Every structure is written in C-alpha cells, then in structure tokens.
C-alpha cells in the first residue's frame, strides 16, 4: 500500500487549493493521499470560516471525489451542516465520508471553539485498502480516540494537523506512542510555512505498528513523500505485543470487531 503525505501550504482560496490537490493526485502514483487540516480553505480563517464552509456535496468536493476511484483522498475542510465542523473529507471509490474533529483546542493561539462544533465519535471506515481511522490534530493528545479506532479494526490511523512550531516536541512524542499503544500504522500530516501570525513546522511522519519511524518530512518546507507499507507487519506486531488483545474492552463499551 502506497501512502502519499502532502506537507503543503494552502492559500485562503478554495479553488486554488482544490486545483493544487487535484494536480498532486493526478501527478503522483499512490493508494492513499493525505493533506493537512483545513487544507481546502486555509487554517486561520477566523470569522471568514462561516462564508467559506462547504457541505460534503459541494461541487468542489464532488470534483475531488471523482478522482477517488481505486484510491483514498483525505484532506481537511470546514464542514457546513446545521453547525460548522472542523472536518476531514475521506473520499474513496467516488464516495465522500466525513470525520469530525472531536477535541477543539481553545488555549494559547488556538480559538477553534469560537467557530466550530465538536464531533462526537472517533471515525473508522472500511475501504478497499482495509479499515482506516481518521482524526484531526489535537485529537492525538487523547489516547482513547486512537484506541477506539484500533478496537474498531483500524489498521492505519491518519492524523491531519495544523500544528505550530510550539507544539513540535509534543507531537513528536505523542504520535509514535499512539502507534505503539495500538499496534497500527500511524500517519501524521502537518502544515508548513507561515499563515498570518502562526508558523507551522511540517515534520510529517509515518510510524510502524511497533513504533519505528518509517518516514519523516523536513521541517519548515513543503514536501511530498510517498511511502510503501506492508500491512502484514500489523499481525507480527500484535503477536509480539498484544496490547489490543489485552485491552479491557468493557472500559470502552465495545465488542470485538
């Protein structure tokens, strides 16, 4: 399975961002294409998020989804549905699914609760490449999100992010921990560059089910990395350290997948 991690900048322009995404998908051979949090519109929209939010069936979304036959495309966008959500589009085989950010940061430079409503459930979907879980940025700091995704069968967990430089050391600690805890592949795709007053550090990464670093993007510059993973590593990792088998599912009110 080939995974493309698109550590790219975006403008406050939906059409330009969508066109660049489409160009990257068309020009690179992969099975899964991952772009950062709120990539479609730019991250620091503030009150302009209201006029820029789109529904999953908006024409620009459908144009991207039409490219998803035989592949998966994941990117962040502000979703309009009664409320506005900080969401990830998960497109595969022409379908559009949505993963909503569960934990919204509202401290320091972050003010997401002013503009977005929280999602209410960890997202997992079944695809032609197996089950994947998708979460967004701050969700990674709450281990129950990834744990529930893994218990529901996710073999790959994707976190799309807009993380500023002040959070770099924290994400570089948390992401491998989530992979080890859940014996899953874990892909993290971050913004890079400067937007308004916030500088994003990049450093997108992919970890194996045993916590080995498979891929690391450079800091503070755009990068498109394509990595091939072997999902048979998951069974090996789970035999060597059966954290999912030994998880007390009653804590999560879940049955075996």
Domain boundaries, the chain: 2-248
DSSP calls for 113-130: GGT-BPP-S-EEEEETTE
For tokens 């072997």, name the residue: 230
What does the pLDDT read at residue 254? 63
What does CATH list as the number for 2-248? 3.60.110.10
| Marked catalytic residue, from 101, 112, 131, 147 | 101
Two tokens, residue 99: 């993963």
Per-residue pLDDT, 253: 75
Of 208, 205, 203, the residue nearest 233 (C-alpha): 208
Among 9, 137, 147, 155, which one carries the catalytic annotation? Answer: 137
Global pTM exceeds 0.85: yes
Q: What is the mean pLDDT of each run of 10 residues along the chain (257 residues)?
A: 98 97 99 99 92 97 98 99 97 98 96 97 98 99 98 98 98 99 99 93 99 98 98 97 94 68
Has 147 been annotated as catalytic? Answer: no
Q: Is 131 designated active site?
A: no
Q: Any catalytic annotation for residue 137? A: yes
What pLDDT, on a 0 to 100 scale, did the predictor assign at position 252? Answer: 76
| Catalytically annotated residue among 9, 37, 131, 155 | 37
């Amino acid at each position: 399975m080939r995974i493309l991690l698109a550590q790219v900048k975006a403008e406050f322009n939906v059409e330009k961002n969508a066109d660049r995404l489409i160009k990257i998908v068309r020009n690179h051979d992969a099975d899964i294409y991952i772009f950062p949090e709120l990539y479609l519109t730019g991250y620091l929209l503030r009150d302009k998020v209201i006029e820029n939010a789109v529904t999953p069936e908006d024409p620009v979304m459908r144009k991207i989804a039409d490219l998803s036959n035989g592949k998966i495309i994941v990117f962040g966008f502000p979703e309009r549905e009664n409320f506005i959500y900080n969401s990830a589009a998960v497109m595969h085989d022409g379908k559009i699914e949505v993963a909503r950010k569960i934990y919204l940061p509202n401290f320091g430079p972050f003010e997401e609760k002013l503009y977005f409503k929280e999602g209410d459930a960890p997202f997992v979907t079944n695809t032609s490449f197996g089950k994947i879980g998708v979460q967004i940025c701050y969700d990674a700091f709450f281990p129950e999100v990834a744990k529930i995704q893994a218990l529901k069968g996710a073999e790959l967990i994707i976190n799309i992010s807009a993380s500023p430089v002040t959070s770099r050391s924290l994400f570089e600690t948390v992401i491998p921990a989530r992979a080890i805890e859940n014996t899953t592949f874990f892909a993290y795709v971050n913004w890079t560059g400067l937007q308004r007053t916030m500088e994003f550090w990049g450093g997108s990464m992919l970890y194996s089910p045993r916590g080995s670093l498979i891929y690391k993007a450079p800091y503070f510059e755009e990068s498109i990395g394509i990595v091939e993973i072997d999902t048979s590593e998951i069974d090996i990792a789970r035999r060597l350290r059966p954290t999912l088998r030994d998880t007390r599912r009653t804590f999560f009110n879940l049955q075996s997948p």
